[in-house]
A and B are shown apart, each in its own frame.
Chain A
Amino acid sequence: MTAPAASVPAAAWILSQPYMQNAFLAGTAVALLAGLVGYFVVLRGQVFAGDALSHAAYTGALAALAAGVDIRLGLFAATVGIGFALGFFGGRGAADDVVIGTTFSWILGLGVFFLSIFTSNSATGNGAANVRVLFGSILGISTATAQAEAWTAAGLILVLLAIARPLLYASIDPAGAAARGVPVRILGPFFLALVGAVAATASQLVGALLVFGLLAAPPAAARRLTSRPWTAFWLAGAFAVAAVWAGLLATYYVPVLPASFTLVAAATVEYAAAAAAGPLVRAAARRPARAARQSESLAPAKIRGSDPVTRRDRPAAVEREAD
């Protein structure tokens, strides 16, 4: 994952390249954002909604290109708007897969329509812009774009951290959260709108089709390794950042591999490794806990009897008590 010790000067030299600086700056910020938001996407079982939002990003971007306005305007308008609508009208798990799938394949079809308008209108509009929207161009972004991406990502991370606590509560126990006064009904659509904003931000780096590599794989890997919510949350962010760094280094040393591929491949490898190592890590984490519990044999039977499967589904407060 990191460069070998002998190549430390080489690593420093990589970072002196302006395009690599831009890629690392934007990539790190966006990866952290995608990993953290992705943790909740996976926890709430909204992976397909996220998939649908990344399709909307494609159509929004091409509509903006066809209309000749800033691509970011189309991206954010489409993803945030559709995310909010999905959360508001769809409800949680109410719309079935056939409805979501058919609607979003039409939205993609609409994207192809805008693509043909765009390519026939502009003399310079060749397939390159389309490929960039689909598969991203993290190595081709300007310094201004990189900074804008980093600031956007930082802002969205702050928004997520502000709602993280009630969101976790509402995700694990919606009824309990509602009873405690958490605005569950507003939180759902708001969160999907946030996921839309993340899809719009991330699609400028890795492309609308590959946002998923950062949004789903790192959190899934983190959840394989730990059942504690906040540990998994931060681990997901760290895994996403590690995937971007590893991907950028890989594409630098093997230029024949496009950056979008190495990024997603790194995230996939992380998940595969976590899936293989998961049982071992969890067993190791359980052992000291069990030993501690056995030593204080006066612990209430309810807690002693709790196995890791049910523990995962309990709110953080209970989690802390149990440990």
Chain B
Amino acid sequence: MSPTSLLEDLFAYPFMVNAFQAGTIVAVAAGAIGWFMVQRRQSFAGHTLAVIGFPGAAAATWLGSNPAVGYFVACIGGALIIAALPHAGHIGGETGGVGEESAVIGTVQAFALAAGFLFVSLYQGFLSGLNNLLFGTITGVTTSQVQMLAVAGIASLTLLAVIARPLLFATIDPAVAASRGIPVRAVSGAFLVLLGVAAAGTSQVTGSLLVFALLVAPAATAVRLTARPDLGIALSVAIALMVTWAGEAIAYFSPYPIGFWVTSIAFAAFLAASAVSALRERRGRRRQRRTKEAVA
């Protein structure tokens, strides 16, 4: 099969065009916002927000409205609540963190999933829809959903561009940033809302449980390859696009679902970058030792 006929085949159905448009918008937003999230060590906050999106989408389906609305309302609402809590910046910070705090996050996640399950069982005959909400689908993206994603994507990227510099400053050194007059709390709150938008959008491609594949893995891969912010964000977006496009295309031609392909490709990219950075580190250490020996 020639490449052109392969592409023709791929886009023969409108649902695939929708899926690719949605995937492209989501990948750009998730790649950029995800880069800041990884720098701020808030990846579990992103995961929690995505999980909170699940009952939102399930409730929207049960009430007969667009699940995309449910995702956005629940994720942005969740972000606003987390931002209003004290110590908002630390939620989901370090691994495990303080036992108490991560236990609260775990409780919130379990309750959100249980509530989503409640709405799914209230809306009977929705069993395959449950999998789509949790693990993603390529066939379910509607045109109105793509339009909503486009609006949300452009709005969130514009806001990100506006707060990018103070956000980066506040991320690297909050104390100095605050002393320079940057409203650290407001910037962190605004970022959490952006994260909510990104989590809601990503959930519509990968499902609520697999958002790490687009929101975290591409950014983490980029961070391992370069320390420069501009290059890192560009690389993160590029990897997210590659993961999404490849995942959707392979899912179309294979019998296995998109959730499996997207997570596998993202994980492979992350492993490769980790190997590269480990090699680089070792080479750097060897060079250091050699110069030390030469000096001696």
Contact = CB atoms under 8 A, between A and B. Distances in A.
Interface of A: 42-51, 93, 95-98, 100-106, 108-110, 112-113, 115-117, 120, 126-128, 130-131, 134-135, 207, 209-213, 215-217, 219-220, 223, 256-258, 260-261, 263-265, 267-268, 271
A105 B134 CA distance: 12
Contacts of B96: 44-49, 93
B263 A106 contact: yes
Contacts of B122: 256
A152 to B, nearest CB: 22
A112 B110 contact: no
Chain B CB count within 10 A is highest, among A45, A50, A115, A219, for A45
Contact of A109 (B38, B92, B259): B259
Interface in B189-235: 209-213, 216-217, 220
Given A45-B102, A135-B117, A271 B107 contact: yes
B263 A109 contact: yes
> Chain B binding site: helix, strand, loop or mixed by DSSP?
helix
Nearest to B121: A258
Given A213-B114, A223-B100, A51 B212 contact: no
A140 to B, nearest CB: 13
Most A CB within 10 A of own CB, among B105, B109, B111: B111
A258 to B, nearest CB: 5
Interface of B: 38, 41, 43-44, 47, 92, 94-100, 102-107, 109-111, 113-115, 117-118, 121-122, 127-128, 130-131, 134-135, 209-213, 216-217, 220, 255-257, 259-264, 266-267, 270
Contact of A210 (B94, B114, B217, B263): B114
Contacts of B257: 112-113, 115-116
A47 B105 contact: yes
B127 A51 contact: no
A166 to B, nearest CB: 19
Nearest to A264: B114
A212 B104 CA distance: 10
- The winner among A219, A220, A223 for most chain B CB atoms within 10 A is A220
Contact of B262 (A100, A109, A116): A109
A261 B118 contact: yes
Contacts of B38: 98
B226 to A, nearest CB: 16
A97 B130 contact: no
A93 to B, nearest CB: 6
B102 A47 contact: yes
A265 B113 CA distance: 11
B121 A112 contact: no
A259 B227 CA distance: 49
A93 B263 contact: no
A240 to B, nearest CB: 12
A113 B291 CA distance: 50
Nearest to B37: A98
Given A47-B96, A209-B113, A217 B212 contact: no
A260 B117 contact: yes
A97 B94 contact: yes
Task: Return the 6 tightest CB-CB contacts between A and B, nearest first.
Answer: A109-B263, A105-B212, A127-B127, A216-B106, A220-B103, A264-B114
Contact of A47 (B103, B111, B130, B270): B103
B99 A268 contact: no
B73 to A, nearest CB: 20
B1 to A, nearest CB: 24
Contacts of B261: 109
A131 B125 CA distance: 12
19 contacts: A47-B96, A51-B106, A101-B44, A102-B216, A105-B267, A109-B210, A109-B260, A112-B259, A115-B131, A115-B257, A117-B256, A126-B127, A128-B127, A134-B130, A135-B114, A210-B113, A212-B106, A216-B103, A217-B106
A45 B100 CA distance: 8
B272 to A, nearest CB: 12
Contacts of B209: 105, 108, 209
